[in-house]
């Protein structure tokens, strides 16, 4: 028993030393940030002197939006370091220091209390004078004997003067109190409204060092409230004079964040990976089919529920900054160039590392910078959809020659140095082809006119309605050089066997009978010489029962 007690006694100082290991305040700074389209990965670094044995490093005031499950710690030192538990706790937000407005309000409220005390004292004094004046004059003598009648006027004057003096002081004090109340009201109205702030997080890291060492630690975590959007500058040189057309596509990033902490002087990268996307395909559940049952008729007088209107996709038209040029003080002039990022791509993702150090405030202000630029030799075509808009538009066809995909984003379009509008780029994988529009081509004239329309009225022997239409589209090249042209048009289609639609023989045979898997949409592709005109006919006929009416419905996903 004595040996056991001695052993326990010997272990007590070690246990007490471990339990009493003091928390070490960590002074970290944000060193690297990788921004995803829906989150950001923040890496903090710090240099710290670690004692031998167990210790706890505490990082205070980290943003509430960080994901505790994403916390990761790494480090190095001259001695072996063991990393234990990493704990994230909620901590109350820092108390804001007293502002000048708060100090002013504090002073005004103190003055108000002083003047209110003065008013209370004057009110009591006035009441005492009034009670003293209500006594009979014969009882005002100091010797408790009747006051001589000759002294009554003097007593009246004394009481009246005292009341007048107290009344003047009281009136002035109340006026000052009103002024203070008005000033307090004005200062409170001018004070900015304090919005509730979420609590912060304190991070505690348990470490065990084999010996005293100077360690370098890094703490990374994923945080919401940050994002980046792709944007593009498309600059087309249409060529001419023996020059081939050339197109420069500048890839840009628009970064903004409201994570609760500023990113000051950090190494910034943007990634095409979505950090918050699901990790696997959804689980497919069985689906049962049954006969459609008609709805129960609504009671008379009740309003019918209308179908919700289709919503159209809205794309934000984002203005991309246009690079300028700077002229050097001495010849030859040197054009200023935007710094481009370094692309780190593999089979699964692409990261763009921005050169230098970047600062992004936490107020949501947008940072716009170039990620890279690529030059192409595009194939130029003129495209028109005459049944919707009899205008010819210049388009450039090219293939994504970069290792990274082109994410959906707004495109600022320039043609021969002139800004011609905003476009939209959809997702384009590496190696895929895509088209970019560069505005109307006024030197290609397009006309679209109906040639014939025939409708019948059903008779007793003909119980069907017929609608026959015939259109002609003319395209004329007013350029002094040949140009490739594409005309896109459509005829309606039916999924009901009672409605038949047929294309008539006078239709000019299309080059592509079905464009982009869209039923009824076809195109004609041809080369127009300088001054040449091409006519295209499109005729069709539809037939349906006379006792029914037909409607034309948009079907963007019909195949």
Same domain membership, residue 338 and residue 214: no
Same domain membership, residue 106 and residue 80: no
**Strands 263-271, 29-35: parallel, antiparallel or unpaired by DSSP?**
parallel
Alpha-carbon dihedral angle through residues 9, 11, 13, 14, given to the nearest 10 degrees: 180
Same domain membership, residue 241 and residue 147: no
Query: End-to-end alpha-carbon separation of the chain, Å?
Result: 89
Integer Cα distance of 420 and 442 in angstroms: 13
The domain boundary, picked from 405, 440, 475, lies at 440
Distance of CA 464 to CAs 99, 143, 164, 470, Å?
83, 130, 108, 20
Q: How many CB atoms lie within 10 A of CB 323?
A: 14
Task: Note whether residue 5 is domain-resident.
Answer: no
Given this model, what pLDDT does residue 91 score? Answer: 77
The domain boundary, picked from 440, 462, 494, lies at 440
Same domain membership, residue 526 and residue 419: no
Given this model, what pLDDT does residue 341 score? Answer: 61
Same domain membership, residue 431 and residue 465: no
Integer Cα distance of 259 and 44 in angstroms: 14
Q: How many CB atoms lie within 10 A of CB 83?
A: 14
Q: Within the chain, how many helices (H) and strands (E) appear?
A: 3, 26
Question: What are the strands of the beta sheet with 246-257, ordered from one edge?
Answer: 367-376, 246-257, 226-237, 409-415, 418-425
Same domain membership, residue 347 and residue 372: yes
Structure-block tokens of residue 99? 């502002």
Same domain membership, residue 209 and residue 80: yes
**In sequence order, what are the beta bridge partners of 340?**
none
Structure-block tokens of residue 305? 């529920």
Integer Cα distance of 445 and 476 in angstroms: 5
Task: Note whether residue 9 is domain-resident.
Answer: no
Nearest CA-CA partner of 313 in 557, 92, 117: 557
Task: Note whether residue 388 is domain-resident.
Answer: yes
Integer Cα distance of 41 and 44 in angstroms: 10
Given this model, what pLDDT does residue 5 score? Answer: 30
> How many CA atoms lie less than 13 Å away from 117 in the CB half-sphere?
5
Task: Note whether residue 551 is domain-resident.
Answer: no
Task: Note whether residue 234 is domain-resident.
Answer: yes
| Number of structural domains found in the chain | 4
Same domain membership, residue 208 and residue 63: yes
Q: How many CB atoms lie within 10 A of CB 167?
A: 13
Backbone angles phi, psi at 270, to 5 degrees: -120, 145
Same domain membership, residue 364 and residue 246: yes
Integer Cα distance of 538 and 47 in angstroms: 76
Strands (E) across 431-517 are located at: 433-440, 444-455, 464-477, 483-490, 500-503
With tokens 């504090």, the residue in question is 106
Same domain membership, residue 244 and residue 146: no
Q: Which domain holds residue 54?
A: 18-93+197-223
Each of the 559 residues of the chain gets a pLDDT tens digit; together they read 333 332 333 333 433 344 345 688 889 999 999 999 889 999 999 999 999 999 999 999 898 889 999 999 999 999 999 999 998 888 765 555 557 788 888 888 888 888 988 998 888 888 887 777 666 555 555 555 566 666 667 777 787 888 888 888 888 999 998 999 888 888 888 776 655 566 789 999 999 999 999 999 999 999 988 999 999 999 999 887 778 899 999 988 899 899 889 999 999 999 887 766 555 666 777 766 665 777 776 554 444 444 444 444 434 433 433 344 334 445 666 655 556 566 665 555 667 887 788 888 888 888 888 888 889 999 999 999 999 999 999 999 999 988 888 888 999 999 998 998 888 999 898 889 999 999 999 999 999 999 988 777 666 566 788 889 999 999 999 998 899 999 999 999 988 888 999 999 999 999 999 998 888 999 999 999 999 999 999 999 999 888 888 888 877 654 4
Same domain membership, residue 343 and residue 260: yes
Same domain membership, residue 491 and residue 426: no
Full-model pTM: 0.59
Q: Which residues contact 215 (CB under 8 A, 6 or more apart)?
A: 47, 48, 49, 50, 75, 76, 77, 81, 207, 209
Task: Note whether residue 238 is domain-resident.
Answer: yes
Integer Cα distance of 267 and 33 in angstroms: 6
Given this model, what pLDDT does residue 327 score? Answer: 42
Task: Note whether residue 186 is domain-resident.
Answer: yes
The domain boundary, picked from 396, 414, 440, lies at 440
Strand, coil or helix: what is 486? Answer: strand
Distance of CA 163 to CAs 129, 133, 216, Å?
7, 10, 80
Task: Note whether residue 6 is domain-resident.
Answer: no
Whether 252 contacts 368, CB under 8 Å: yes
Whether 456 contacts 466, CB under 8 Å: yes
**Strands 464-477, 433-440: parallel, antiparallel or unpaired by DSSP?**
unpaired
DSSP string, 251-318: EEEEEEE-SSS-EEEEEEEEESS-TTS-SSPPPPPP-------PPPPPPTTPPPPPPPPPPPP-----
CA 482 from centroid of its chain's CA atoms: 45
């Amino acid at each position: 028993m004595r040996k056991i007690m001695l052993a326990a006694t010997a272990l007590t100082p070690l246990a007490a030393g471990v339990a009493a290991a003091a928390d070490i305040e960590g002074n970290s700074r944000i060193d690297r940030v990788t921004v995803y389209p829906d989150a950001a990965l923040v890496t903090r670094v710090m240099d710290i002197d670690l004692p031998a044995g167990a210790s706890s490093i505490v990082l205070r005031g980290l943003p509430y939006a960080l994901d505790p499950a994403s916390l990761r710690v790494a480090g190095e030192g001259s001695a072996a370091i063991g990393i234990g538990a990493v704990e994230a706790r909620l901590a109350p937000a820092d108390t804001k220091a007293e502002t000048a407005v708060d100090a002013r309000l504090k002073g005004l409220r103190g003055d108000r209390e002083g003047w209110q005390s003065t008013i209370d004292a004057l009110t009591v004094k006035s009441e005492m004078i009034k009670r003293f004046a209500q006594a009979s004059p014969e009882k005002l003598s100091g010797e408790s004997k009747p006051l001589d009648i000759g002294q009554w006027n003097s007593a009246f004057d004394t009481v009246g003067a005292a009341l007048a003096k107290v009344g003047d002081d009281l009136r002035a004090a109340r006026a000052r109190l009103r002024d203070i109340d008005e000033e307090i009201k004005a200062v409170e109205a001018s004070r900015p409204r304090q919005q509730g702030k979420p609590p912060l997080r304190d991070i505690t890291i348990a470490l065990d060092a084999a010996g005293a060492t100077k360690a370098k630690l890094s703490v990374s975590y994923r945080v919401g409230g940050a994002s980046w959007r792709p944007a593009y500058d498309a600059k087309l040189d249409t060529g001419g004079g023996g020059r081939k057309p050339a197109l420069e596509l500048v890839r840009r990033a628009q970064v903004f964040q409201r994570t609760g902490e500023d990113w000051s002087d950090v190494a910034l990268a943007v990634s095409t990976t979505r950090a918050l996307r699901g990790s696997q395909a959804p689980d497919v559940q069985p689906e049962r089919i049954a006969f459609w049952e008609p709805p129960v008729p609504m009671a008379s007088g009740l309003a019918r529920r209308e179908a919700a209107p289709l919503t159209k996709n809205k794309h934000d038209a984002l203005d991309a900054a246009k690079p300028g040029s700077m002229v050097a003080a001495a010849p030859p002039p040197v054009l200023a160039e935007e710094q481009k990022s370094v692309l780190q791509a593999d089979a699964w993702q692409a990261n763009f590392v921005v050169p230098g150090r970047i600062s992004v405030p936490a107020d949501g202000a947008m940072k716009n910078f170039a990620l890279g630029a690529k030059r192409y030799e595009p194939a130029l075509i003129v495209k028109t959809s005459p049944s919707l808009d009899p205008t010819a538009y210049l388009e450039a066809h090219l293939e994504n020659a970069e290792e990274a995909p082109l994410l959906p984003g707004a495109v600022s379009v320039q043609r021969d140095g002139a800004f011609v509008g905003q476009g939209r780029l959809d997702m384009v994988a590496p190696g895929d082809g895509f088209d970019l529009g560069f505005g109307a081509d006024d030197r290609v004239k397009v006309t679209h006119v109906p040639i014939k329309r025939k409708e019948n009225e059903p008779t007793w022997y003909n119980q069907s309605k017929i609608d026959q239409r015939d259109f002609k589209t003319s395209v004329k090249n007013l350029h002094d050089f040949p140009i490739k042209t594409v005309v896109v048009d459509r005829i309606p289609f039916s999924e009901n066997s009672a409605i038949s639609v047929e294309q008539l023989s006078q239709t000019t045979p299309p080059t592509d009978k079905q464009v982009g898997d869209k039923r009824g949409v076809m195109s004609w592709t041809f080369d127009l010489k300088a001054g040449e005109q091409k006519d295209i006919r499109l005729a069709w006929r539809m037939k349906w029962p006379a006792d029914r009416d037909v409607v034309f419905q948009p079907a963007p996903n019909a195949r």
